[in-house]
Structure 1
Amino acid sequence: MNDTAPYPIGTPGTPWGAAEKAQWLASQVRRRSYADDVVAAIEPLRANFDVIEYGTLQYADERYPLLAIRSRDWDDELPVALVTGGVHGYETSGVHGALQFVREHAADFAGRVNLLVAPCVSPWAYERIHRWNADAIDPNRSFRDDSPAQESAALMQLVAPVRDRVLLHIDLHETTDTDESEFRPALAARDGKPFEPDGIPDGFYLVDDSELPQPAFQQAVIDAVAKVTHIAPADAQGRIIGSPVVAPGVIRYPLRKLGLCAGITDARYKTTTEVYPDSPRATPEQCNRAQATAVCAALEYALAHP
């Protein structure tokens, strides 16, 4: 993306207005089904978990129930662990890795922790395989008071009653080739800024909270996932997506300041996972398993170090 090949919507250097956003929205195509892929996968879990509809996402004539999976044996004496996926709807393994964790591993933590899992925070974007919502807003920069994103506001309302009791929050994401080919150029165009290529790291990495870093916790997750898939190396400048690598496969962001999902609680242990599904060294099944493994490792460490 450069001056000879500008993003096809808008005028370079000029932020989008209503007309450009409408043009962008008109170009979005439904490519998969939230009802078939996610809601149907949640239904069998009702046998062992409480499934709650914590809100409704409404765009034009499209309605999406926002679903969360909750421990049936909820005990107010136990800590809470929050697992979120699909904040960026196109990041497929975040959604299906969260569901795989519930199906295959959640029972192992019964009686030890209260689980609250929101596997697909952004169903409209899941169906379009997109990063933004229908208003051209990134939900993962919108977790703040008076959020402009319906998805973010609904999740924050769900979490509010237990926010002060959350021990762990793990937010499941992907970094894909389309970050560089579509989503970062679109962001630059939307905001009227130049697009600066940065490259895509090949492998799994984590984003720690720079305001409350937990290096031993992050390392425990990295060590577990390394048995499932490869860990992203630093680039020639010692960075991953422009941020200094503070330990193998770990960078840090100020989560709350940036309005990121992983910053919505006061949890001692917070992390954002990133897998690379476009790697020739990883399969979709491997990516899902890496996400589920990360959740398990995060839980084991947090419960052992409360």
Structure 2
Amino acid sequence: MPQFYPIGSAGQPWGAAEKLAWLACQKEQRSYHDDVLVAIEDLRALWDVEQYATITGPAYGGKSYPMMVLRSRPWNDDLPIMLVTGGVHGYETSGVHGALKFAREHATEYVGRANIMVVPCVSAWAYERIHRWNPEAIDPNRNFVADSTAQESAALVRLVAPIRGRVLMHIDLHETTDTDESEFGPAKAARDGAPTYERGVIPDGFYVVGDTENPQGLPFQQAIIEAVRAVTHIAPDDGAGKIIGSPVVAPGVINYPLRELALCAGVTGARYASTTEVYPDSPKVTNELCNQAQVAAVRAAIAYALAHPVPPAPAPAHQ
């Protein structure tokens, strides 16, 4: 069988030795403390900040990562809850910095209208290594279940458990990068024992992922797209009516079964849920433009939810 990834053998799932070999290749390239925790400290005058978990263990190289959530003030239980998450995949940089930029620039915008929760960086270890997985070669964004084997996912599930079914809107900030096909796709195929790997097409532009189980949410997704269109370009389909293999249901909009796939955007059972996807490798954008696109998406999502305040959909129990 052809060897398409330098670790493991095609057709054979990784065992402990292959995962350790992969882990040995992951080097710290930036600082969660300097980039995220310091930025959050500067926001304490505007937000209530609390640590909701500590991520640590042998695979984390002896480091401990405090996981932080920002809550708007004053919190009012009579108001709808809006959740913003970033950095589920640590290498998707504008998810983290877009969330922080939103928190820095728009903290007081919703006083008296909504409760806002912001979790800027769900996966701190992966942020430092510019990677998709955690150190145990687990993708957090397929593991948002109560008994998750990914510490990062389990911690967020515990954080939102008290408000499940009460969240009106949840937007999860992501990127689709060229490395999805040059590194992370082949690594996943090798880890899972696929015999071959065929590269897909990376869409050039911004798009969103809605919920297959909530088709009435399409106007919500379209509102996000229209807001971001004023900031950056929207991804076209691949010529066959698809983006990353999924049918395009409106310009820049595809759907996934969020809860079935245990994706972050499905963790609260919010009536309005969306995953954003920025393309930072486009020659048409800059890092700051990517951050601005994420902020535009968050603000549009909150605005739409406030204008259409239907009761949150009942949140099914985790399986």
TM-score normalised by structure 2 residue count = 0.94
> What residue identity is the alignment partner of 2:235?
A
Structure-1 residue corresponding to 2:111 = 110
Structure-2 residue corresponding to 1:25 = 23
Would the aligned equivalents of 2:236 and 2:252 in 1 still touch at CA under 8 Å? yes
CA distance in 2, matches of 1:90, 1:114: 28
Secondary structure in 1 aligned to 2:42? helix
Structure-1 residue corresponding to 2:197 = 195
CA distance in 1, matches of 2:46, 2:101: 14
Secondary structure in 1 aligned to 2:38? helix
- 1:208-245 deviations in whole A, cap 9, x for unaligned? 00001211111110000000000000001111000000
- Aligned pairs, number: 304
* Mapped pair 1:131 → 2:129: no
Secondary structure in 2 aligned to 1:81? strand
Structure-to-structure mapping, 1:162-181, within 5 angstroms: 162-181=163-182
Percent identity, aligned pairs only?
A: 67
CA distance in 1, matches of 2:246, 2:261: 14
Structure-2 residue corresponding to 1:54 = 52
Q: How far did residue 163 of structure 1 move?
A: 1.4
Task: For structure 1, list consecutive stretches of 5 or more residues without a partner in the other structure.
Answer: none
> What residue identity is the alignment partner of 2:35?
D
Structure-to-structure mapping, 1:1-306, within 5 angstroms: 3=2, 6-58=4-56, 59-193=60-194, 194-213=196-215, 214-306=217-309
CA distance in 2, matches of 1:174, 1:40: 23
Would the aligned equivalents of 2:73 and 2:111 in 1 still touch at CA under 8 Å? no
> What residue identity is the alignment partner of 2:160?
V
Dislocated runs of 4+, deviation >3 Å: none
CA distance in 2, matches of 1:26, 1:52: 32
CA distance in 1, matches of 2:30, 2:238: 34
Q: How far did residue 145 of structure 1 move?
A: 2.4
Secondary structure in 2 aligned to 1:130? coil
Secondary structure in 2 aligned to 1:10? coil
CA distance in 1, matches of 2:233, 2:105: 22
Secondary structure in 1 aligned to 2:208? strand
CA distance in 1, matches of 2:23, 2:249: 38
Q: How far did residue 126 of structure 1 move?
A: 0.0
CA distance in 2, matches of 1:106, 1:199: 37
Q: How far did residue 71 of structure 1 move?
A: 1.0
CA RMSD of aligned residues (A): 0.9
- 1:75-105 deviations in whole A, cap 9, x for unaligned? 0000100000000000000000000011112
Q: How far did residue 181 of structure 1 move?
A: 0.2
Q: How far did residue 106 of structure 1 move?
A: 2.7
CA distance in 2, matches of 1:217, 1:164: 18
Q: How far did residue 45 of structure 1 move?
A: 0.6
Would the aligned equivalents of 2:47 and 2:107 in 1 still touch at CA under 8 Å? no
Q: How far did residue 69 of structure 1 move?
A: 0.5
CA distance in 2, matches of 1:196, 1:159: 37
Secondary structure in 2 aligned to 1:125? helix
Secondary structure in 2 aligned to 1:219? helix
